[in-house]
Amino acid sequence: MPDEDITKELIEGPEKIVEVMEKKDVDKKEPLSYTKTLKTYLFDNEISATIYASDQPNANKFSGNVEWIGNRRDDEKGSEFFIRSRSEGKVVTFGIHNVKICNYNPQKRNFKIIQNPVTCPVCNKPVLPTQSTITCPNCHVVAHKDDYLEYLKMKGECPSCNAKLTL
């Protein structure tokens, strides 16, 4: 069974993602098993994910097992995945601005997500899926957390929209 493009469902939220997973999961010997807590789905099955920083052949990637999928904490459209790799667990946030494509392979229970390259407005370097990020509450620009907080301490404003902000 080929990969299925579920980019739209990823943006719509965790309910839609799990709907697609259940619909496509009919051929598996072990049914999809999860616990739903509010709008967060905690998985009992092994579900893997690979997140690429861009669609370039040598793009940085982050891989691991998806432990849960939930709504974004900033109330924007999209989803959050908690992915545990061999060395760490990481919450990765997906939304309209940072996802190029999301494919799901029901046979392998695997997500392949290619992000739109996002550039930090403070240091002008790419923001990778494994890095800690922060979002401006005013303009929703994504930046490296440490860079943004340091800039905010020095200037007292967002580097993108110049909105006055305090810590």
For residues 133 and 162, state if they share a domain: yes
Length of the chain: 167
**Residue 135: what pLDDT?**
87
Question: Which structure tokens are listed for 55?
Answer: 């669609």
For residues 104 and 126, state if they share a domain: no
Longest dimension (CA), the chain: 57
The pTM for the full model equals: 0.79
Whole-number CA gyration radius for the chain: 17
Terminal alpha carbon distance of the chain = 49
For residues 9 and 63, state if they share a domain: yes
DSSP state of 116: P
For residues 110 and 65, state if they share a domain: yes
**Residue 1: what pLDDT?**
62
**Residue 160: what pLDDT?**
93
How far, CA to CA in Å, does 32 sit from each of 46, 67, 88, 136?
9, 13, 24, 37
Lowest mean pLDDT among 34-43, 59-68, 125-134: 125-134
**Residue 74: what pLDDT?**
79
Tens digit of each residue's pLDDT (9 = 90 or more) over 3-38: 899 999 999 999 999 999 998 877 667 888 999 998
Where among 116, 131, 157 does a domain terminate? 116
Alpha helices in the chain (DSSP H): 7-12, 14-24, 145-155
For residues 160 and 105, state if they share a domain: no
For residues 30 and 93, state if they share a domain: yes
**Residue 63: what pLDDT?**
94
Tens digit of each residue's pLDDT (9 = 90 or more) over 80-138: 999 999 888 989 888 888 899 999 999 899 999 998 888 999 999 988 777 888 889 88
- The average pLDDT across 63-83 equals 92
- The average pLDDT across 41-62 equals 91
Specify the number of domains making up the chain.
2
At 103, which helix (H) or strand (E)? strand 99-105
Domain range spanning residue 99? 4-116
Strand-pairing partners, residue 155, are none
Which CATH number characterizes residue 131's domain? 3.30.40.10
Tens digit of each residue's pLDDT (9 = 90 or more) over 143-164: 999 999 999 999 999 999 999 9
> Which of the pair, 65 or 132, is modelled with greater confidence?
65
